[in-house]
Amino acid sequence: MKHFIFKNQKSNNNTVAQENGNLNMLLSEPTATTRPNADLRNRRIDFYFEDDKVLIEGLADIGYTFWLSKTDITDISTNAKICQHILHDFVDVFYSTNKYYDGLTKLFKKSILRIGDFTDSKWATPFGTYIGDDDKTGLFIAKSLVTFKSEIDKLCEAREDGGNYLSVMQAFLERLSQRTDDPILDYTTAAPWIKIMEDEDYLLCSKNEQIRELYLQLLKQYRDLHSRYMTEVR
- What confidence score (pLDDT) does residue 132 get? 84
Rounded to whole angstroms, how far apart are CA atoms 131 and 121?
9
User: What's the whole-number average pLDDT of the chain?
Assistant: 88
CA distance from start to end of the chain: 45
Evaluate whether 82 touches 23 at the Cβ level (below 8 Å): yes
* pTM of this prediction exceeds 0.75: yes
* Res 120: pLDDT: 66
Q: Which residue in 66, 68, 79, 84 sits closest to 7, CA to CA?
A: 66
What is the pLDDT, as a whole number, of residue 35?
58
Q: Count CB neighbours of 160 within 10 A.
A: 17
Q: 135: which DSSP letter?
A: T
Residue type, 62: I
pLDDT digits (tens, 9 = 90+) for 14-54: 444 466 678 999 999 998 765 567 887 889 999 999 999 99
DSSP of 56-125: EEEEEETTEEEEEEEEETT-HHHHHHHHHHHHHS-----B--HHHHHHHTTSEEEEEEE-S-TTS--EE-
H or E stretch including 55? strand 53-61
Partnered with residue 85 across adjacent β-strands are none
| Residues in the chain where the model's pLDDT stays below 70 | 1-20, 33-36, 117-121
* Whole-number pLDDT of residue 200: 96
Q: What is the pLDDT of residue 229?
A: 96
Q: Which of 119, 147, 115 is nearest to 131 (CA)?
A: 115
Buried b (16+ CB within 10 A) or exposed e, 182-195: ebeebbeebeebbe
Q: Which residues pair with 57 in a beta bridge?
A: 46, 68
Query: What CA–CA distance (Å, rounded) separates 229 from 234?
Result: 9
